[in-house]
Homo-oligomer: A and B are copies of this chain.
Amino acid sequence: MLFRQLFDRETSTYTYLLADEASGAALLIDPVLDQVDRDLGLLEDLGLSLTYILETHVHADHVTGAAILRDRTGARTVVSATAGADCADVAVRDGDVIRLGASGIEVRQTPGHTAGCVTYVTQDQKFAFTGDALMIRGCGRTDFQEGDAHTLYASVHEKIFTLPDACAVYPGHDYKGRTQSTVGEEKRLNPRLGGDKTVEEFAVIMDGLGLAPPKHLAVSLPANRNCGRILPESTAP
Interface residues, chain A, with chain B CB atoms under 8 Å away: 4-9, 12, 15, 35, 38, 42, 45-46, 176-180, 185, 189
Contact = CB atoms under 8 A, between A and B. Distances in A.
A179 B5 contact: yes
A9, A15, A46: which has the most chain B beta carbons within 10 Å? A9
Nearest to A174: B7
Nearest to A137: B45
Contacts of A189: 45
Interface SS of A by simple majority: mixed
Contact of A9 (B177, B179, B180): B177
Nearest 6 Cβ contacts at the A-B interface: A7-B177, A5-B179, A6-B177, A45-B189, A38-B176, A8-B177
A46 B180 contact: no
Contacts of A5: 179-180
B179 A6 contact: yes
A179 B177 CA distance: 11
Nearest to A3: B180
B9 A9 contact: yes
A4 B185 contact: no
Nearest to A44: B189
Contacts of A15: 177
A177 B13 CA distance: 10
